[in-house]
Each structure stands twice: as structure tokens, then as C-alpha cells.
Amino acid sequence: MALYAKAAEILEKVERKQATVKTLVYDSKFQNIKQLFALVCETQKFSSILQEIIESTKLLKQTKIKMNLAKVLVYDLVIGKGLKCGGAWKALMMKHRSRLQAALARMKIKQKVSRNQDLLSSSLQQPEGDQLPRYVRVNTLKTTVEDAIDYFKREGFSYLGQAYRLDDLNLKGKSFVGDLHLSDLLVFSPKTDFHDHNLYKAGHIILQDKGLWTCLCLPAYLLNPPTGSHVLDACAAPGNKTSHLAAIMKNKGRLFAFDLDAKRLSTMSTLLLRAGVTCQQLANQDFLKVDPDGPQYKDVEYILLDPSCSGSGMVCLRDEASPSQNEQDKRRLQALAAFQLHCLNHALRFPRLQRVVYSTCSIHTEENEQVVAACLLQNPGFRLVPLLLQWPERGLAPLTKCLRASTTKTLTHGFFVALLERHTAERLEEQASETLNPVAEMSPSSPSASKDIHEVQEPISTTKDIDMAEEAKPTEENTETSGGVKKKRKKKKKDGDKEALEPKATEEQTNTSGRANRKKAKVE
């Protein structure tokens, strides 16, 4: 019964907007976190359906239990895999099982569907296969990708080589592939469980979703701090992002990690120890109260900022809401966006900062593009860097240099990533002088052409971005497969990517030509 009582308690706190599901589950110290998280998420996803069943059967009146407890019990009884408790509670619920099942059947007949999943709105339905792939990051502080692949192959898994298309991630059974974009990420079929695996217990692999807010790995990859650099992880717990940064830095340099919750920081310390991280400096401190001019931060050049957000990108957290709830959510989004903008502005105050990655697990424009746009207006010394030109889902126009993700287009949970880079005065002057000759050669009667030239001359670090895209491409070693993805596809993919890069970059430059003119006007 402890599972259902704790799940009901968390649902109650989520309704009162006390914290996110992630935070509440993580802080609960429940023995089986995975089981608790799954029950809360699934109950919340089916919330409106469960409430209709409970109300139509008058269950609360007959059992004297509260709504959230009734929801978690009814979910497992008629939708899930059966009640996981015994005693009086199970006996009580079993008395009403027939009526509850009948109510669910009537709902499916009324809506002309045969599956429980089909009762959900389209925004709540997960992609085919009912689950997203299982992403496993190889911890390169303790092992290599090649050794990890060999280990899994000896255990009977079938390695199909490097994935080149999204369809390659639709895996079944014991098949697995290398990720499309991240070289240290392996992808397994959705129901593969590694929580009791030796490599996981030893810290050789990290279980994570490419776009899951509890263990983001794409932002660390995009920040890409060099070995020996000074890096700051602003909202660090539970620590998977921090461990990934340490691996990218090869455990050399200094990695400052902050979190306001002492318990979460303590758990994070244990995780980093297991992962073999040694370059970290943890602080139980609010990032907004960190002094950017403090002597210990004088060499910080890279910051990863993943602030608190609505979590709306998580599939299990999307739900239908009443008009009054929508109004409350709008106010909450406004408050979150103000907090996020404050954090991003604070990050840009570090004197030697060169790059900052801003990421959320939200699908709301208020927390994503609007925050970045407001920050850029307030900080003209920074600009956006184009990310992963081959990524299938971009930020909303005009911020198409950012990345978005979704269950359908990227087979991850929903998230947003932006990379901001310092724009020095010297660099601005250099770029402005470079535009003079080309512009002089343009016809005076062609203002649109002039704008295009200015935009082409915008300092966008094209070579660096293409290098980043190249790093995500497979190596020769990874193309050796056991009956999976063939080498020929790699060559075709490479040729296709080269052709796609040029027009895509040009289009992106053209779309932002207005901002380039304003930047040049400021310099002049």
C-alpha cells in the first residue's frame, strides 16, 4: 500500500504546483523509484479518464477514499497490470472491479475505440511501440564505446552498427545501434532494462534519454568544453549532465556544480563518485546568488544552464486541462519564464564566459524561444550559434538556429536547446569591414540583395558548426555490423548531408538578415 499512498501524495502536491513530478519522486526516497515514477506518470496521463470512471461509479462515496488515491488504485486495477498491494485495500477495490471495468468498457464503446490508449487525446498518445527507445550513454571516464559494445555482444545482444535514419531506432528484442548524433550513446529497444546490469552498477554506463530533463546529454555534447577548461553546471542535480561534462573534459580542468537542495546534492555526489568524476567542485548554493566576479570563477568560459521548467515535454506529464487550470498554467508559465530569463541573464554576467547552453524539457514557447529572444535583446554582446544542421526539428522562426525535439520527429521526449556565444567588439569590427567590399559591388537598386550579403557575412562560425555535425557522423570502426546497417548507406548519407548543409545554412542566414543589419548598424 505504500506505493499507492506515496503516488497519491505526489499527485496531490503536483496539483498544488509545489514541484514537478521529477523532483517529488526523486525526493521521496521511495525504495523503487522507477516503479513509483511510472505509476505517477501513467496515472496522470489517464487522469481525466480515471476521474470519469470514478465519478460515474460513485467510488469515492462508497469507499470513503480521496480522489488521487482512487486514481492510482483504479489505474492499476483496470488499466495497468493489476494491484500490487494486499490486505484491506485490495479487498475493498476488488469488490468494485466489475463496475469499474464496465464503466471503462462503456467509454470505449462510446468513443468507438478498442484500446485503452486510444481513449487519450492525440497529444498524449506515444509513438508506435508505446515507448521511446532506451538510450544508454557509455561513460568514457571508465570504459570505451567499443568495449561496451563488445560486452553487450557477449551477452547475446545484436549490434546493428551506426544508425543513419530515425527508422533505424525502431528496435526490437536484443538489437541495438549507435545513436545518429552522439558517438557515446547506444540505443536499445524500449523495454530493455539495465538497472540491475553490472555495467550500470559499476558506473560504466549511464541510463538516460537523449532529451529527458533528469539526465540531459545533448546540451553537454553541444557545449563541448575543451579539456582543461573551467565549466559551470548551474542547476546540476541529479548529476548526469555533470558526469557527461566531466567525460567530455576528460576529468581535466574545473567543473563547478550548484544545486539548492542539499539532499539532491548528496545523492549527486554518490553518482559522480560511481561515475569516476574527480574534477568537480560541488556547492549547496542558489546559482542566482553566485557572484560572477568571484575570484574562483574568473576563468569560467562555459556554462550549462538547465533551469526549473514546466516539464511539458515529458510525454507522461501532458494532460487535458479545464479552462481554469489553463489560466493557472498561463500564470505559472509567466513566472517560470521570468525566472528562466533571470538565470540566463545571470549566466551571461560571468566576465570570461564564451558560451552558454540553455535547455529546458518544455514544449512551451514562453519558456523557450521567448526567453532566448528577450535575453538576446538585453545582451547584444551575445548571439545564437546554429546547432546540428541535420537535426530534423528546429526552433520556431525566427530562432531556427535552436533545436526542438518531440516523440514523433526525434524519438525522444520534448525539449529545447539554444547555444549563445559571446560576440566581442573586435570580432564585430572585423566582420563589418569584411562586408564593405561585397556590398560596394552590389547594385544600389537592390536592397534585398544587400541584406543577403550582410547576412552571409554575419559571423556564424560556419566551419565550427559543420565540424560539430561531422563529429556526430559515424567512424569507420562503427560501421562494422553483424547483419545491420550497411557501409553503402553511410556513403549515400554522407553525400546527402554535404548537399543538404549548404542550402540549409544559406536559408537560415537569409531568414535572419534583419538581425544582421541591425548588428552592423550598431557597429558602424
Binding site as annotated, residues: 235-241, 259, 286, 306
Residue by residue, DSSP assigns 51-73 as: HHHHHHTTHHHHH---HHHHHHH
**How far is Cα 452 from Cα 458, in angstroms, rounded to an integer?**
10
Cell of 88: 484491506
**How far is Cα 490 from Cα 478, in angstroms, rounded to an integer?**
11
Residues in a beta bridge with 404: 416
Residues in a beta bridge with 214: none
215 and 208 in contact (C-beta within 8 Å)?
A: yes
The single-letter code of the amino acid at 255 is: L
Question: 41 an active-site residue?
Answer: no
**How far is Cα 316 from Cα 126, in angstroms, rounded to an integer?**
9
**How far is Cα 225 from Cα 419, in angstroms, rounded to an integer?**
13
**Which one of the listed residues 41, 309, 316, 361 is annotated catalytic?**
361
508 and 386 in contact (C-beta within 8 Å)?
A: yes
E runs forming strands in 235-331: 254-258, 280-283, 300-305
Residues in a beta bridge with 466: none
**How far is Cα 445 from Cα 460, in angstroms, rounded to an integer?**
27
165 to each of 128, 161, 180, 490, how far by Cα in Å? 16, 12, 7, 10
Torsion on CA atoms 7, 8, 10, 12, rounded to nearest 10? 170
Using alpha carbons, select from 213, 346, 228 the residue that is nearest to residue 291.
346
Cell of 75: 489505474
446 burial level (CB within 10 Å; 0-12, 13-18, 19+): exposed
47 to each of 68, 134, 430, how far by Cα in Å? 9, 26, 58
Coil/strand/helix, residue 152:
helix
**How far is Cα 454 from Cα 376, in angstroms, rounded to an integer?**
19
Integer-rounded Cα Rg, in Å, for the chain is: 25
How many Cβ atoms from other residues are within 10 Å of residue 357's Cβ? 25
Q: Which residues are annotated as a binding site for S-adenosyl-L-methionine?
A: 235-241, 259, 286, 306
Residues acting as catalytic residues: 361
